Structures are given as C-alpha cells and as structure tokens.
Amino acid sequence: MPAPLERERIGLRDADGRLLAEPIYADRDQPPFDRSTRDGYAVRAAELSAGTALHIIGSLRAGELWSGPAISSGEALEIMTGAPVPEGADCVAMLEHVLRNGDNLSAQPARTWKPGENIVPRGAEAHAGDVVLPSGRTVGPAEVAVAATSGCATLEVYARPRVAIIATGDELVGIAQQPEPWQIRNSNSWSLASLVSAAGGSPERLAIARDELDDLRERIAQGSMWDLLVLSGGVSMGKHDLVEQVLTECGAEFFFTGAWIQPGKPVVFGRLPKSGIVYHPSRAREFENWQGEWTYFFGLPGNPVSTEVCFHLFVAPLLRALGGRADLAPAFVEARLAEDVKGAGARTRFLPAQLTSAWDGVTVKLVPWQGSGDVAASARAGCFCVLPPSSEALRAGDTVRVLLR
C-alpha cells in the first residue's frame, strides 16, 4: 500500500472534499451548558406535573446566563431555545403546554413532565478533549460544522496527489481545433482530468504525445516527475503502440500488463524512476538499478470508455491511497437485471447501463452502444453493469453487480 503524500494546512472554506490528516478534538464540552431545546419555562418537572401554580421570576434568552439565584420550589423561569437552563430547574415545559396568567404558570390539564425533558445536558454530545472527527475523514458539510464548532479555522489535510496526464496518438488534436476528417479530438485528457479531480487528485494535462519514440520519451520523462503518471492510448498490439516500449526503456517495473476485462484488456500498471531524464540509448545505464524515487504510472487503453472503466477499477484506488484515504475499493452495488442479457464471453464485461430505483428494489438496464469508443452512449449511462465471464445468458431478474461512477 503506498504511503500518503505530504500534508498541508488550509482554510476551512477550502477544505471541501479534502482528507483530514489529524483528528479534530472538542475544545470544550458540547453543549457547553445544559441547553434548552425549546421555548418555554424552566421548572421542576414534579411540581408542574402535580398541578402546582408556579411564579415566573424572569426571562432568559440564548446568549445570556441567569444571574439570579437558583430556581427554587414554586418558581419558573421563562427560557428560550438555546439558552442555558439555570440551576434548580430540571426540565423545560414547552410554552404550548402550559397556561400563563401574568406571572403565574400552571400546567394544561392532564400534562406531565419528566426530569430532563427538553434539556441536552452539558457534555452530552462531546466532552472537552474527545475526538469529534478522526484523522482520515473526508471533509463535507457535516465535518465543516463540527470543525467550526470546535474553533478550527484551518485544517491539516493530506496533499492532493499530483497527476500528469498524457494522451498519445497521431490522430489526436486539441479540443479547440477543427479536426481534419481523419482526426479525433483529444477527449481523454479532459475526462481523465475530471476523473482525477473527483478521486481527490490534482490533474495536469501535458501535451499530446505523438506515436513516435522521441516524442514519447520526452513526454514520459516530463510526466515521471509527478506523483502519478496516467497515459492513454498506445498500449495495444499495433505497430504504433509504443508506450510499453518507452516505459521499459525508462526503467519501468510493470506490476501487471493486461487485465481479463472488456473493455480495458491492454491496461498496464507499474512504477518508473522519477528521473526526468529523456531516454537515449547512450543514457540507458542511468535507468538501471535505479536507487532514487519512483513514480507510479498507468497506461490506459485509448478507447474513451475503456479509459474510464480502467480509471475506476485501477487508477482511482491508487489515487485514493496516495491521498490518504482508507476507502480504496471501487463503488459496487447489486441490482436486478431489467432484461435478458447475452453471456459476457471469456472476460468480465463492464457495460454502460442505467440504474432505476423503485419500491421493490433496484434494477439495471443496459444502454445500447457501439463499443468502447462510444462516449455518447456512456454519457447516457450512469453506471457500468458487470457481467462475469460466462457463455451463458443472464435472465431478467438475475442479480448482478454494478460499478458506480
């Protein structure tokens, strides 16, 4: 498991989605006093329940402390929601449940109260020094509320892993360019940047690498200086698929080359020397027995839907680990097939699909598509239906796993 990267201290307002690198402690009891949760009267429950007429001795609002003597027998204090319940009272009667006549207070017929009613005792939510948020927690609105309550204007969080993105392919042009009829806009660098951000990383799109050795060597040398390098395209069997070759030249160690999935079979994963050196045969020895730092890399298949599926399955878990997260696994749920589906074949298949939630459970329905280049179909889907390798058809109603985006 890779160790998380550095930490940094950031303002609370910038902390959405970041991961805490230290616990947050309550700096005082929460609530800090016995807190009234209703507008009404602080009284002794037994007295009011017994029908005793009480004398109202004053009024207290949130932000004030009762400065008079403790509430004694036969007395009541008007109190507002959020105010500290004074000594001597043991419950707050809601104002709708009592009768007030001048300074006299009595119970509505047949109403009774228990001690503690409508009071949250001091320290019931947290005691000073308690951990109210553990290290490793992702910051969202609820965590921001806790941090603010505990007086934390800044938070120590894990640094976002820095991710270099390189699209490879002679057919690719920038998205602002008007492509020739045989050219393709480089959508992967953009979708990968979006995926990286969503997984907690900080993406940087490097220049498109051409399908030739020198250009790839230069781009990969540049990309090796990031925490993670994600390449797309050029990992298959074709004559111009040179990514694996150049990674190997640059001293890469491969953890796996290929996965038994469709789409995504040609995906590769490994690490390469963080050298920044552009490979040339005369410099080959500099990459051998590398003792310095390493950069993780993925070579993802170029087909855009393969790229996304591989990202969810392989890249996002590593990225989350580098960002300090404990929840590494891709998000899978189970659902029932809405329709019969052909057998997946030899490889586990990930097919664009839509989830529908109804009273009787969750169903999943495949979206028609033209294969792993079909980004439009993928965008019509919200998830990927997972079909295990098998030649046998699955029936409507069968339970399958679903990979969420």
Ligand X SMILES: Nc1nc2c(c(=O)[nH]1)N[C@H]1C(S)=C(S)[C@@H](COP(=O)(O)OP(=O)(O)OC[C@H]3O[C@@H](n4cnc5c(N)ncnc54)[C@H](O)[C@@H]3O)O[C@H]1N2
State which residue, 69 or 174, has the beta carbon closest to ligand X. 174
User: How many Å apart are CA 240 and CA 257, to the nearest integer?
Assistant: 17
**Residue count, binding to ligand MOO (CB under 6 A):** 8
Tokens representing residue 298 in the block:
């993925």
**3-class secondary-structure state, position 219:** helix
User: How many Å apart are CA 80 and CA 63, to the nearest integer?
Assistant: 10
The least distance separating ligand MOO from the CB of residue 14, rounded to whole angstroms, comes to 37
The least distance separating ligand X from the CB of residue 208, rounded to whole angstroms, comes to 7
Residue 172 interaction partner, one of ligand MOO, ligand X, none, beta carbon < 5-8 Å per kind: ligand X
The single-letter DSSP state of residue 12 is G
Residue 233 sits in the site that holds ligand MOO (CB under 6 A) = no
The least distance separating ligand X from the CB of residue 223, rounded to whole angstroms, comes to 14
How many degrees, rounded to 5, is the angle at CA 39 between CA 37 and CA 42? Answer: 80
DSSP string, 75-143: EEEEE-TTSBPPTT--EEEEGGGEEEETTEEEEPTT----TTTTEE-TTSSB-TT-EEE-TTPBP-HHH
Q: Which residues pair with 357 in a beta bridge?
A: 362
The least distance separating ligand X from the CB of residue 168, rounded to whole angstroms, comes to 6
Residue 241 interaction partner, one of ligand X, ligand MOO, none, beta carbon < 5-8 Å per kind: ligand X
Residue 265 sits in the site that holds ligand MOO (CB under 6 A) = yes
Q: Interface residues for ligand MOO in 213-232 (CB under 6 A)?
A: none
**Choices 15-23, 115-123, 154-162, 298-306 (CB under 6 A): range interacting with ligand MOO:** 298-306
Residue 302 interaction partner, one of ligand X, ligand MOO, none, beta carbon < 5-8 Å per kind: ligand X
- Strand pairing of 24-25 and 119-120? unpaired
Residues 105-126: b if buried by 16+ CB within 10 A, e if exposed: bbbeeeeebeeebbbbebbebb
Residue 88 interaction partner, one of ligand X, ligand MOO, none, beta carbon < 5-8 Å per kind: none
Q: Interface residues for ligand MOO in 356-385 (CB under 6 A)?
A: 372
State which residue, 172 or 344, has the beta carbon closest to ligand X. 172
Residue 303 sits in the site that holds ligand MOO (CB under 6 A) = yes
Kindly tell me which residue out of 306, 348, 363, 378 binds ligand MOO, with binding defined by CB under 6 A.
306
**Choices 51-59, 117-125, 257-265, 278-286 (CB under 6 A): range interacting with ligand MOO:** 257-265
**Choices 163-171, 250-258, 260-268, 352-360 (CB under 6 A): range interacting with ligand MOO:** 260-268
User: How many Å apart are CA 162 and CA 152, to the nearest integer?
Assistant: 26
User: How many Å apart are CA 187 and CA 174, to the nearest integer?
Assistant: 8
**Given the structure tokens 């807190």, which residue do they identify?**
35
The least distance separating ligand X from the CB of residue 18, rounded to whole angstroms, comes to 29
- Strand pairing of 98-101 and 361-366? unpaired
Residues in contact with ligand MOO by CB under 6 A are 262-265, 301, 303, 306, 372
